[in-house]
Structure 1
Amino acid sequence: MAPFSAQRFYDELADDYHLIYPDWSLSVARQGSALDALVREYLRRAKPLDILDCSCGIGTQAIGLAERGHRVVATDLSPAAAARADTEARRRALVMAAAAGDMRALPFADSSFDVVLSADNALAHLLTEDEVRRAVGGMRRVVRDQGLLVLTAKDYGDARQARRQSTVPAVTDTPAGQVVTFQLWHWQDDGVYDFDHIQLLPDGDSWQVRVRRATSRAWTLEELAQLVRECGFDDVTWHSVDESHFFQPVLTARPV
């Protein structure tokens, strides 16, 4: 069966994406703060950095970094998600360029950025090693020689071997009532799985049910680290949640 389209998934989710978080604005601030501290520790520069977020979604990390004074360019495979990121940045009076773009074919000149970022497990939508190499190889091309690559990914642990079937429901309070979000996973071979992303939204005494579908691959952290090395990076390091204060493990790597 053909994989479900990641672009369609995020186009459909864009208006409701913030409902994944108990408090999206607070998550923007926290994630921006964690990533800002990490890149400044590595690059040791007080001045604002040129940062590309090449899988920006609705801007959760990109906006957080722009709020800390960095010059951020944000792209996403989903035009709807990128448009919302642009709207949210404008609402906060931030100067942040956001547009649709595929991280497997980055439309930027060589050595354009101090930092290239892909967060929130975006690489899981790349289902083959060749797709990951295309994306990370492009990141190597557009990052400066003294720059930094930053990736964040889900630590699937034993989920692939155990073929875990669902995620724990997350509950978000809204003025209309509670919103419940969870996923059902349907495993194929080689760690690839289709998932139903299900949101229950209050509708008077009942619920609206919204279902979007996509396909991911449960890459191990070491698999991703090896692919990053193959694409021209060294000093490849995974930072735990406790170390990075980010909600997922964070990989940093320096261009060779």
Structure 2
Amino acid sequence: MATQTTTPDAIKVKHRALWASGDYPAVATQVIASLGPTLVEAVGIREDERVLDVAAGSGNAAIPAAEVGAEVVASDLTPELFAAGRQLAAERQVELTWREADVEALPFEDKSFDVVISCVGAMFAPHHQASADEIIRVCRSGGRIGLINWTPQGFIGQMFATMKAYAPPPPPGAQPPPLWGDEKHVRELFGGRIAEVTATKQTLKVDRFDTPEEFREFFKETYGPTIAVYRANAENPDATAALDTGLADLARAALTDDGVMEWEYLLVTATVR
């Protein structure tokens, strides 16, 4: 039997394919659209500042940053998401640069940005310390960092916990994405390299789904991590049924009679020393 070897490059290829599957731009525009403007306002992005959005996806935060007059680079490991971003930017009559880039090895010079942001994006890179180091490296001294990350105990964190039992094991050294939603973890990643840190838990009110089943089916069709877990169990009907039930039950517990769900996230802003 041949031995299969997984290299870092293979991990990146798999990660890119995961986020290219489905329709993440639909999630960005239909479910979490307000997070981008929230982050831009919180970090205080101003006209003519040079801004890097890492793991930008289709530009949920990058486009609002461009709308205030900043010079924005939207970077992501998955350039397949850029077409939807470019279309939305054109509709809003703003210009920005789209750049394929891995947050763990950014292709930018040291201290080349005034602001570095990420909206539920960088948290999904497998090696947290490498991502934090690169975010710091490309931001100038006195520049600012702004992050929005799902918390472990919030709805999306619990969704990942529900899917974990059905997911293939992560690659060696990979850390769970929702850890980025833990303030202590974020502070440890950046250490003494940041100052003036604010970290607040906030909630996104989601009114997109009328039933638990509608939520589940939407995420099965659009959201890369959910799609990947279902594909891994495609030949196991019992596991698929159990996962169906688990995700619907999670949504049922969160969905109010008014059709609103509250998804908790951690908003972090800081100044680079």
Under a length normalisation based on structure 1, what TM-score does the superposition of the two structures give? 0.65
The whole-number CA distance in structure 2 between the counterparts of 1:121 and 1:99 is: 15
1:120 paired to 2:107 = no
The whole-number CA distance in structure 1 between the counterparts of 2:132 and 2:59 is: 20
The whole-number CA distance in structure 2 between the counterparts of 1:159 and 1:88 is: 28
Partner of 1:229: 191
The whole-number CA distance in structure 1 between the counterparts of 2:105 and 2:91 is: 29
Shift of 1:32: 3.9
Shift of 1:105: 1.0
**Quick one: which amino acid aligns to residue 143 of structure 2?**
G
**Quick one: which amino acid aligns to residue 191 of structure 2?**
R
Partner of 1:253: 270
Partner of 1:35: 39
**Quick one: which amino acid aligns to residue 18 of structure 1?**
P
Deviations 1:161-185 (CA, angstroms, capped at 9, x unpaired)? xx95x47xxxxxxxxxxxxxxx951
Moved over 4 A (4+): 1-4
| SS of equivalent residue, structure 1 residue 73 | strand
Shift of 1:186: 1.9
Deviations 1:109-131 (CA, angstroms, capped at 9, x unpaired)? 122111101211531332xxxx2
1:1-256 equivalent positions in 2, closer than 5 A: 5-13=14-22, 16-20=23-27, 23=30, 28=33, 30-40=34-44, 47-126=47-126, 131-157=127-153, 164=158, 166=159, 185-187=163-165, 216-219=176-179, 220-229=182-191, 232-241=193-202, 248-256=265-273
The whole-number CA distance in structure 1 between the counterparts of 2:48 and 2:272 is: 20
| SS of equivalent residue, structure 1 residue 140 | helix
Of the two structures, which has the highest relative contact order with CA contacts closer than 8 Å and spacing of 6 or more? 2
The size of the alignment, in residue pairs, is 198
Give % identity.
Answer: 23
Change in 2 beyond 3 A, CA 1:88/1:187: same
Change in 2 beyond 3 A, CA 1:187/1:252: farther
| SS of equivalent residue, structure 2 residue 99 | strand
| SS of equivalent residue, structure 2 residue 151 | coil
The whole-number CA distance in structure 2 between the counterparts of 1:22 and 1:87 is: 12
Uncovered stretches (5+) of structure 2, i.e. residues with no partner: 170-174, 204-262
Under a length normalisation based on structure 2, what TM-score does the superposition of the two structures give? 0.61
| SS of equivalent residue, structure 1 residue 7 | helix
Change in 2 beyond 3 A, CA 1:240/1:91: same
Q: CA RMSD in A?
A: 3.4
**Quick one: which amino acid aligns to residue 144 of structure 1?**
R
The whole-number CA distance in structure 2 between the counterparts of 1:77 and 1:32 is: 19
